[in-house]
Structure 1
Amino acid sequence: MISIRNLTFRYSKDKLLFENLNLELQTGKVYGLLGKNGAGKSSLLYNISGLLFPLYGEINVLGYVPKDRKPSFLSSIYFLPEEFALPSINITQFLKLNSPFYPDFDSQQFYDFLKEFDIDTSDKLSNISLGQQKKVMIAFGLACNTKILIMDEPTNGLDIPSKSKFRKLVAANISDEKLFIISTHQVKDMESLIDQVIILKDNKIVLNTSVEDIGQKLSFQILKSQDDEVLFSEETIHGKVGVVKNVEGLESKVNIEHLFGAVMKNSHLINEIFPKQL
C-alpha cells in the first residue's frame, strides 16, 4: 500500500535528512512511528502525504506518486498534522466545506465521534481550546474512512479521559482495508493500539517490526542482579526494570517506552536481534 525506495530528502544544501531510506507499509496494521525530536518523523509523513517532495527516490502510495497531488490520491488519504489552524466557522460549516472531498465520509459517524468527545457543535472552531480542536479533527479524520489515516502527535493537548476515548475510537475503526500511521512521543498513549513499531534514529530506520515479534525476542521485566546484556533499565519503586534478550522464552507485556530506550541506548544490539528489514 505504501512503498518507499531509496528516499533521499533534504531541507537545504547543508541539511540532509534522509538518504536511501526504504520502507514498506501494509493494510490492516497500526504503525507507531517513534523517534527523538529532529529524527525526521514529521518530514517522513509529509513526504508520504505529498506535502514535501523527495530529492531522489520513489514513493508509491495506493498506486499514486504523492507529489503529483492527484484528487483521487488526496481523497484516499487523510493527514492530521501536529499543528494546524482552523477557520472562524462552526463545526457544521466546516463539515459542509470539507466533507465533499472524501467520497466515503460518514456524517453520522462524525457526529457520533463528536458526542463521544463531548464536543458542542455550535461553537466556532477558532473559539475552542487546542484540545477541543484536536478532537474535532480526529473525529473528522476517522469519519473520512480513507484507506490511509496518518496522525502526527494526535494526543498532544488531550486530557486523560480524552486520550482513553481516542484509543477507543481508533480501535473501533481499524480494519483489514485500512492503514494507520501514528507518530508520537507519548508512547504510553499508544501501546494498546500499535501492532507494528518503526523507530527512527540518526535519520535512519533502526527498527521496523511487529509487537508480537518484539515480545518473542525481548523480555520486559524486573531485572535480576545476574542479568547480563541489559539493553535498557530504570529504577522504579518496584526495583530495577528493563529490557533483556528473551533467551528463556518468557512471556512479558511489551513496554514500548522501554523498547525505545533500548533502541536509543543499544541500537547495535537491537540490530543483531532484529535484522534490518523493510
Structure 2
Amino acid sequence: MRRPDPRVVLGLHRSCHERRLLTGALDLGVTALDTSSNYLGFRSHQVLARMAGDLLPRFTLSTKVGYFPRAARAEHSLDPALLHAAVQQAAKELGREPDMVFLHNPEHTLQEAAPHNRDTLAYACAALDAAAAKGLCGAWGVASWDPSPLVDLIDETLPQPSVFMVRAGLLVGARTLDAADAVTTAWGLTSDSIWGMSPFGGSTRAPVWDRIRPGAFLRDGDSLSSAQAAFRVAYCLPRVGTLAVGTNEPTHLGELMDALDSEVDELAVREYRGLIRARTHGQPA
C-alpha cells in the first residue's frame, strides 16, 4: 500500500461505482473521492453508501450540487434554498457529511440570469458558505466547466470558496485557461486550492492522443506513455495542485500516478500557452 498522495482524486463522473475500484485506489494511496448528486442518474450517493459505506470514512469525500432531477431532464438551479436542501440530502444519502461540496457549473444558470447574475452567484455561494458553517459539510468550493462567465462577477464582497475546480490539460482552450487564471486571482486562491478535472477530455482512447506528443512538455517524456505524459502536463494547464481523474481500472490509475514525479518543461508549457492564445485571438504566433 502506498502512502496517501493528495495530488490525485478519484473522480466518479465516468467511473464505475464498484468496490474493487475504491479498494484499489486506497491501495495506491488515492484517498480522495469526488462525485456529484447528479452522477449515475442521480443515484451516485445512494450506490456509494450501499456498496462501500464502510470504505467512505477512509476517503476525503467531495460532491457537487446544482443539478436537480425533473420529469424530462436534469435542471440546473442556483436557488439558495434548493442548494441548501441538496447539501442536507447529500449528507443523508452518503451516510456522512461530505468534506467538500462544490457549486456545480454555476455558469449554466448565470448565463440566463443577466443583469442580476452577480447577485445570483453571491446568494448561491452564501448558501454553501452557510451550509459549511452549520457543519453540513466540511468546506465548499466551485466547480466550473467554463469559468468565463465568472470572471467579471467576483470581488472582495463575494464569499470565497476553499477550492476552485476547472478543466485542465492539453485539450483546454486558451480562453478557458485564461478565465481560470483570472478567477483564481480574483478569489485570491493559490494553486494548492485549485483542482483540475477531465485531463483527457473524456477518454485516453480518443484519436487526438494518437496525433499529439504530450511527452514533449516533459524532461523525461520519452519514457512515459501518451496518457501518463498528458496526465502530468495537465497539472500545468492551468496550474493546479490536485487533479481529479476517472477510470474503471486501478491499474490505469496506478500508471498515471507513476508519472507524478516527472519534471515538466515549464518553458515549453509557456510557449504552448502563448501559441494557442495567439491562435485564439487571431494574432501571429
- Category of TM-score, reference length = shorter chain: 0.3 to 0.5
More RCO (CA 8 Å, sep 6+)? 1
Q: Normalising to structure 2: TM-score of the pair? A: 0.37
Larger gyration radius, structure 1 or structure 2: 1
Which has the larger helix fraction?
2
Which has the larger strand fraction?
1
